[in-house]
Amino acid sequence: MYVSRNDEPTTAHASAASSCGCSTQASPPSPAPAAEDARLHERLAQIDHKVVVLSGKGGVGKSTVAVNVAVALASQGFTVGLLDIDLHGPSVPLMLGLEDAQPTNHEGALVPLEFATNLKVMSIGFLLPSRSDPVIWRGPLKHSLIKQFLSDVEWGQLDYLIVDAPPGTGDEPLSVIQLLGNLDGALLVTTPQEVALSDVRKCVRFCGEVNCPVLGIIENMSGLVCPHCGETIDVFRRGGGASLARQMGVPFLGEIPLDPALVRAADAGKPYMTAYANSATAQAFRQAIKPLLAQAKQGGSQG
């Protein structure tokens, strides 16, 4: 493991073998950069489609979208990996009830957890010293940690890798996008408020600068599903995401309402998509994955 639970996160090149519960293995030395690059390339070559979930701003529902998109794809029979690479607030383990899980080690590689036979999950949160304390990382350390993490996770063959990226357009999403290389593209999550919309504008430009195609914009927390009657009530002005998408010339993938059941599902560690498969919100997630399915139909590996 990168850092043991009780240690300061002072090195990104500590072994990945020390706090997985496997006490028989000595830590291998830090990988040489070239060997790490080769491993990263080899692992990513087994993944047909790579999609990153981004937002210009924190707290707009990236992790919620990443989890439910991954579950929606898995429920269509695809083999899916869900990767949470948010160093500061990894929330995928919580949302899937995996907060006490420990990934195992296989010949020095990290083996993802199997949430379902065709849904594998890996979170950088599994490896952080304490899941409740925010961790302060220095910039270059973050990049090498993300790189080591990406090259150490043994996904095997995947149809889709869905990546829950850190918020914003800073160094971390940049590292993730550069290291993954050859992405199918990004799903951009926004909320109806104007500030989040201007942040997503920045995010679209960022994608342009790093040559990451924009698969589309999802407007989350768009209207409120009444817990009594199930009708959707407008809370904030809706439709901003759609008009922004038009302005920026990128696809609009739909609105996901504020749904108390989403919070309940996340708090209970159950994916919403399976717990409430027939709801309008689940339908909205299924709508949002259409461009991903279209990528699969076009066929061929992205490398």
Ligand X SMILES: Nc1ncnc2c1ncn2[C@@H]1O[C@H](COP(=O)(O)OP(=O)(O)OP(=O)(O)O)[C@@H](O)[C@H]1O
Q: Is 63 in the site for Mg ion (CB under 5 A)?
A: yes
Joined tokens for residue 11:
């090195």
The helix/strand/coil state of 220 is strand
Near ligand X by CB under 6 A: residue from 13, 30, 46, 58: 58
Spatial distance between the Cα atoms of 301 and 106, rounded to a whole number of angstroms: 26
Please report how close the Cβ of residue 217 comes to Mg ion at its closest, in angstroms.
17
Is 274:75 a contact under the CB 8 Å cutoff? yes
Amino acid, res. 71: V
Whose tokens are 């817990």? That residue is 227
Q: Is 226 in the site for Zn ion (CB under 5 A)?
A: yes
- Contact positions with ligand X (CB under 6 A) in 230-259: 256, 258-259
Q: Which does 297 bind (CB under 5 to 8 A by kind): Mg ion, Zn ion, ligand X, none?
A: none
Binding mask 59-78 for ligand X (x = CB under 6 A): xxxxxx--------------
Residue 64's contacts (CB-CB under 8 Å, 6 or more residues apart) are 95, 220, 262, 266, 272
Q: Which does 108 bind (CB under 5 to 8 A by kind): Zn ion, Mg ion, ligand X, none?
A: none
Q: Is 151 in the site for Mg ion (CB under 5 A)?
A: no
Q: Which does 226 bind (CB under 5 to 8 A by kind): Zn ion, Mg ion, ligand X, none?
A: Zn ion
Instruction: Give the closest residue to 55 by CA, choosing from 160, 193, 179.
Output: 193
Q: Which is nearer to ligand X, 17 or 214 (CB)?
A: 214
Q: Is 128 in the site for ligand X (CB under 6 A)?
A: no
Is 84:127 a contact under the CB 8 Å cutoff? no
Q: Give the rounded distance of the alpha carbon of 191 from its chain centre.
A: 18
Written as one string, the DSSP assignment of 3-31 is S-TTS----S-S-TTSSSS--SPPPPPPP
- Burial (CB count within 10 angstroms: exposed 0-12, middle 13-18, buried 19+), residue 212: buried
- Interacting span for ligand X (CB under 6 A) from 71-79, 197-205, 245-253, 262-270: 262-270
Q: Which does 262 bind (CB under 5 to 8 A by kind): Mg ion, Zn ion, ligand X, none?
A: ligand X
Q: Is 32 in the site for Zn ion (CB under 5 A)?
A: no
Q: Which does 136 bind (CB under 5 to 8 A by kind): Mg ion, Zn ion, ligand X, none?
A: none
- Interacting span for Mg ion (CB under 5 A) from 61-69, 171-179, 215-223, 266-274: 61-69
Amino acid, res. 156: G
Site of interaction with ligand X (CB under 6 A): 55, 58-64, 86, 89, 91, 167, 220-221, 256, 258-259, 262-263, 266
